[in-house]
Amino acid sequence: MLFNSWGFVLLLLITFVVYYVPYLKRMQVQILIASSLVFYAYGQPHLLLLLLTSAAINIGASYLIVNGNAAQRKLYAALGVIINLGILSYFKYGSLLAHTFMDTSMGIGHYLTLIPLPIGISFYTFEGISLLVDVYSNKHSDKLSIDRSFSQHTIKTLFFISFFPHLIAGPILKAYEFYPQIGSKSIKNIDWEYVFKKLTLGYFLKMVVADNLANFTFWMAAPYYHMKSSVSLIAMLLGYSFQIFADFAGYSFIALGLAKMFGYDLLENFQFPYISTSFSEFWRRWHISLSTFLKEYLYIPLGGNRKGKFRTYFNLTITMVLGGLWHGAAWSYAVWGAFHGLALAIERLIDKSLGIKISSRTGLICKGIMVFSFVTLAWLLFRLPFNEVIAYLKAIGTNMHTSQDYAMVLCIMLYSFPVVLYHFFYIMPAHWKIQVVARKYQYVICGCMLFMIAVNSGPSGSFIYFQF
């Protein structure tokens, strides 16, 4: 079910009314669980069984780690993590392995290509793993406690995994951040200003910016790009960079606003990533919940930067390669992760080992342009198969004399402009007059965004990160 569908609006209104009915206050968590399961099952009800199975595994394993045989704690945790990874690998990477190593015309290879990709499986699997690791390590015992009552633990954990705002495209939650929030909520405590601003910005970015840009980045696919000029190809690549930000950041802002309506705070997932002047800064600003997960549950356990320079660079690269594969079942995603991993490693080498630092304004601007250009170029691996990426880059170099599509370039610039403006306002000094005016008339700006949502939304489409 899409956040920008009328079916979701109806489900949201019903859930909100029932949730805040006074005599149902003790059932608030159960109400959200029921609504979340309806949300997930809509369109593909058979996949609900997989979500419930995944939840059951994590409920049982986390409960046994705390309340089972103390001598078997490590076994319960290891089995839980292995089963989680096994389910994720089977459903997400079975087809990739079949196409890579097997004959897909018959037998097991053919069967593996028919496995459906359950929506949101990467997100709720990572959340289950984080729960098991945190319960076993006991690092967050002051925030994360497992109930002695199995029924209460089941309700809390199923809620943690299935809560609909984050269920199918994040942000990735950590149990120690979410469990302490579970409790009775009151409608009078809703921060309506926060909700309004997040929802307005989120829907604007998705429906006006991303969905309209999708009309033009569609032509990046083969064989269409062969007929486009070099300028159009570069414009489409830039447009896709702004589209993927608007699409995913838009989803995350909507998720934050929806969660706040029911009294829950989710992690900010984006902090103006396209102003970054280093690759490490980019990953502190882009998909923050994933980057912090990879750092906390993969990079640090691998040794982080504690085992020498070579091991540090290796850990950075392997973490990003696996992070790339998390995004999709194609080797192009692994290459995308490797590009970012190598960039982080080289950056660390230059900064830490060679001691080369650039702090001048001109230098930082140049670094920012370089980081944005690299990130944008790498997004091609999200949009096209690897062999088509090479062909697309060749077309940029060879199609210089192809007739220009000025209307397309102009439209891409127009729909990309809000993303540029969004980042520009963040870095603009607070005392500038345009900043003062924008703060004074912020609700007028929100009104303009709502008007654009009503009259200039693009064709409705699923969120890009639904495929992950």
**Secondary structure of 349-369 in the HEC alphabet?**
HHHHHCCCCCCCHHHHHHHHH
Together in a domain, 277 and 385: yes
Together in a domain, 246 and 379: yes
Together in a domain, 163 and 256: no
In terms of Cα–Cα distance, which of 20, 34, 24, 25 is closest to 184? 25
Question: Tokens representing 403?
Answer: 């007739």
Given a contact cutoff of 8 angstroms between Cβ atoms, the answer to whether 289 and 122 are in contact is no
Other beta carbons less than 10 A from residue 413's beta carbon = 14
Together in a domain, 97 and 223: no
Q: Would residue 395 count as lying in a domain? A: yes
Together in a domain, 257 and 175: no
Q: Is 423 a catalytic residue?
A: no
Together in a domain, 362 and 262: yes
Whole-number Å distance between alpha carbons of 373 and 454 = 33
pTM: 0.92
Task: Check residue 467 and give its pLDDT.
Answer: 61
Question: Tokens representing 261?
Answer: 């309506």
Together in a domain, 183 and 271: no
DSSP string for 92-115: IIHHHHHHHHS-TTSHHHHHHHT-
Of these residues, 327, 340, 401, 431, which one is catalytic?
Answer: 327
In terms of Cα–Cα distance, which of 25, 82, 91 is closest to 57? 82
Q: Would residue 333 count as lying in a domain? A: yes
- Contacts (Cβ under 8 Å, ≥6 apart) of 159: 29, 32, 33, 36, 182
Task: Check residue 304 and give its pLDDT.
Answer: 81
Q: Would residue 1 count as lying in a domain? A: no
Instruction: Provide the domain limits for residue 349.
Output: 192-467
Nearest 10 degrees: CA dihedral of 18, 19, 20, 26?
110
Q: Would residue 139 count as lying in a domain? A: yes
**Burial environment of residue 454 by CB neighbours within 10 A (0 to 12, 13 to 18, 19 or more):** exposed
Q: Which residues of the chain have pLDDT under 70?
A: 353-357, 465-468
Instruction: Specify the number of domains making up the chain.
Output: 2
Together in a domain, 24 and 141: yes
Task: Check residue 257 and give its pLDDT.
Answer: 96
Q: Would residue 391 count as lying in a domain? A: yes
Q: Would residue 33 count as lying in a domain? A: yes
Task: Check residue 355 and give its pLDDT.
Answer: 61
Pick from 189, 212, 245: which residue ends a domain? Answer: 189
Together in a domain, 148 and 220: no
Together in a domain, 125 and 202: no
Q: Would residue 453 count as lying in a domain? A: yes
Question: Tokens representing 443?
Answer: 């609700």
Task: Check residue 235 and give its pLDDT.
Answer: 95
Task: Check residue 183 and give its pLDDT.
Answer: 92
Together in a domain, 201 and 279: yes
Task: Check residue 362 and give its pLDDT.
Answer: 84
Pick from 162, 189, 216: which residue ends a domain? Answer: 189
Pick from 137, 165, 189: which residue ends a domain? Answer: 189
Together in a domain, 53 and 22: yes
In terms of Cα–Cα distance, which of 421, 467, 438 is closest to 205? 421
Given a contact cutoff of 8 angstroms between Cβ atoms, the answer to whether 319 and 341 are in contact is yes
